[in-house]
Amino acid sequence: MSATPEIIERSAQPFVAIGAEVTMGQLPGLADRLGEVFGWLAERGLTPAGPPFFRYQIIDMERQLRVQAGVPVPAAVSGYDRVTAGVLPAGRYATATHVGPYDGLIEANSDLLQWAKEQGLEWDCLDAEDGEHWGCRLEIYLTDPAQEPDPAKWATQLAFLLK
């Protein structure tokens, strides 16, 4: 992790996204869906209210992940077709920022999970047969690779909702 984890309060945030069920090997391809979401916003004259993100809804690292590739919007909108609308929940989030290539995110996630365990924090997460169901677990992509081609400078904020 590039920065010391901290706990922050986040307000509810409307968003639009395209969801998918993918394996860990398929996860990088989900980034292509962000282009579709940005295109959908542009067609409607809507401006993003922040950087894009992946929201991990269900995690089973061995089998499948349910993930949304999303973009925050200033106010609630209605989705259409593959693009769904929702609201990221308000609450206390444990956060940390990873600076570097995306292949370092697995370790950064692990570090944040370990830090929270050491602090005695509890996640908004339930275990089920199909995996861990997260209230809100985000990877927020603060750096646009099209604007900054050096992966060593890419910043990604992790934000996981606490109970």
- pLDDT tens for the chain, 163 residues: list them: 456 899 999 999 999 999 999 988 888 888 889 999 999 999 999 999 999 999 999 999 889 999 999 999 999 999 998 999 999 999 999 999 999 999 999 999 999 999 999 999 999 999 999 999 999 999 999 999 999 999 999 999 999 999 9
H-helix or E-strand spanning residue 30: none
Q: Is residue 1 situated within a structural domain?
A: no
Q: For residues 163 and 160, what is the distance between their CA atoms, to the nearest angstrom?
A: 10
- Does any domain span residue 45? yes
> Among all chains, which residue has been given the structure tokens 């997260």?
134
Q: Which domain holds residue 92?
A: 6-161
Residue 60 CA to residue 132 CA, distance in Å, equals 7
Q: Which of 97, 96, 84 is nearest to 57 (CA)?
A: 84
The beta-strand segments (E) located in 3-143 are 6-10, 13-22, 53-59, 65-72, 84-88, 91-99, 125-128, 131-134, 137-141
User: For residue 150, what is the domain's CATH number?
Assistant: 3.20.80.10
- Cβ neighbors of 37 (< 8 A, separation 6 or more) are 16, 17, 18, 52, 69, 70, 71, 83
**Amino acid 29: pLDDT:** 84
Give the position of tokens 């706990």. Answer: 7
Q: Is residue 72 part of a domain?
A: yes
Euclidean distance between CA atoms 85 and 78, whole angstroms: 6
- How many domains, in total, are found in the chain? 1
3 state SS of 25: helix
* Element of type H or E holding 37: helix 31-43
